[in-house]
Amino acid sequence: MTENSISGTTSVCAVIGDPIEHTMSPAMHNAAFRETGVDFVYTAFRVSAKELGEAIRGMRALGIKGLNVTIPHKVAVMAFLDELDPLAEKIGAVNTIVNDGGVLTGFNTDASGAMRALAERGIETDGRKIVVLGAGGASRAVSLALADGGGRLTILNRREELDWAEELAARLARFFGSNIPALELTDDNLAGALDGADLLVNTTSVGMVPRAESTPVKASLLHGGLAVLDIVYNPLKTKLLGDAETAGAATVAGIEMLAWQGAIAFEKWTGKPAPNRLMRDEAVRLLEKP
C-alpha cells in the first residue's frame, strides 16, 4: 500500500498489460504523486488482449485520468483512442493515454523518454550518424524518434531474414523520405557502421540479466567519438555501457530512459513538472531489492 491519501476527488492512473505483476510503474508514479502532493493514485490492471476494447471503454466510463500501456497492447490500443500524438502515429504504437474530459489521446513516451534522456546529457541527434541495434518494438519507437530528431540512421538486426528491419526501414522512409540501411548484425557490418558514428543505441535484450556478461558489440569496435544509449536497465550498468566508458564514450543508461518515459507521462496527466530523479531512484531501489 502507498501512503497516498485517497478521497472522493482523487484522480486514478494505471498501467495495463498482460502479464503486469512485475511492473515498476506503480511504485515510480505513486512516489512522484506523494512527492509533488498532487491528488492522484496509480495502480495496475491485468487486461487480456480480447478485453482491451472493454478496458478502454471502462477508462472513459470511470473517468480514469491516465493509462500506461505495455506488452502486448501498445499497437492494438490505438484503434480505441480519439486522437494520436503525431510521433505516436508515426511509430504506430502508444504507451501512454491521457483522458481529457472524455477525449482519449495516445502518446509514445518510450520514444520521447529516450530523446529526453539523450538531451539531458547534451547528446544531439540532428544530422548525427546513428547506429541502432535491433528492429523490434522498442527499436520502432526509438528509431522513429531519432529520425524525427534529424538523425541519420543505420539499423542492424540479428535475423538473417530482415523482414522486420525492412518493415521498420520502410516506415522510416515513408515518414522521413530518407533511405535507411537495414543490415544484418555482424561484426563486419558493425565495424563499418560504427566508423565515424556519433551515437549507438542498443534496443535488443542482449546484456540483460541473467545473461549480463553478454554484449551486442565487441569492445574493440567502440570509440571515444561515440555516445552509447543502452535500453537494457537490468543490470543498471550493462557490459556494453562499461565497455563504452572504457573506450571514452559518453553513456546513457536504460534506467534514465525508463525514468523519463514515466516522468513525461506524469507531466501529461498532472500538468506539473515531474520529479524525474526521484522516479529514477525509486526504479533503482526496486531493481536492487533482493
CB of 164 vs ligand ATR, minimal distance in Å: 5
Active site residue 74: yes
Please identify, using beta-carbon distances, which residue of 17 and 216 lies nearer to ligand ATR. 216
Q: How far is the CB of 173 from ligand ATR (least distance, A)?
A: 18
Pairing, β 66-69 against β 96-100: antiparallel
Site size toward ligand ATR, by CB under 6 A: 16
Least distance from C-beta 46 to ligand ATR, angstroms?
19
Nearest CB to ligand ATR, comparing residues 135 and 249: 135
**Residue closer to ligand ATR, measured from CB, 135 or 240:** 135
Shortest Å, Cβ 202 to ligand ATR: 9
* Using rule CB under 6 A, residue 206 touches ligand ATR: yes
x/- letters, 95..134, toward ligand ATR (CB under 6 A): ---------------------------------------x
By CB under 6 A, residue 137 contacts ligand ATR? yes
Residue 134 sits at the vertex; the CA angle it makes with 187 and 126, to the nearest 5 degrees, is 95
User: Which residue among the candidates 65, 74, 129, 268 is catalytic per the annotation?
Assistant: 74
Tell me how far, at minimum, the Cβ of 139 lies from ligand ATR, in Å.
Answer: 6
User: Applying CB under 6 A, which of residues 158, 176, 198, 242 lies at the interface with ligand ATR?
Assistant: 158
Among 30, 70, 109, 203, binds ligand ATR (CB under 6 A): 203
Closest CA to 198 of 140, 278, 262, 128: 128
Residue number of the CB atom closest to ligand ATR: 136
Q: Provide CB contacts within 8 A for 169, sequence distance 6+.
A: 155, 179, 180, 181, 182
Task: Determine, following the binding rule CB under 6 A, whether residue 233 of this chain makes contact with ligand ATR.
Answer: no
Is residue 136 within the footprint of ligand ATR (CB under 6 A)? yes
Of 164, 233, 266, 269, which one interacts with ligand ATR (CB under 6 A)?
164
Looking up cell 540483460 gives: 208
Residues binding ligand ATR (CB under 6 A)? 134-139, 157-159, 164, 185, 203-206, 216
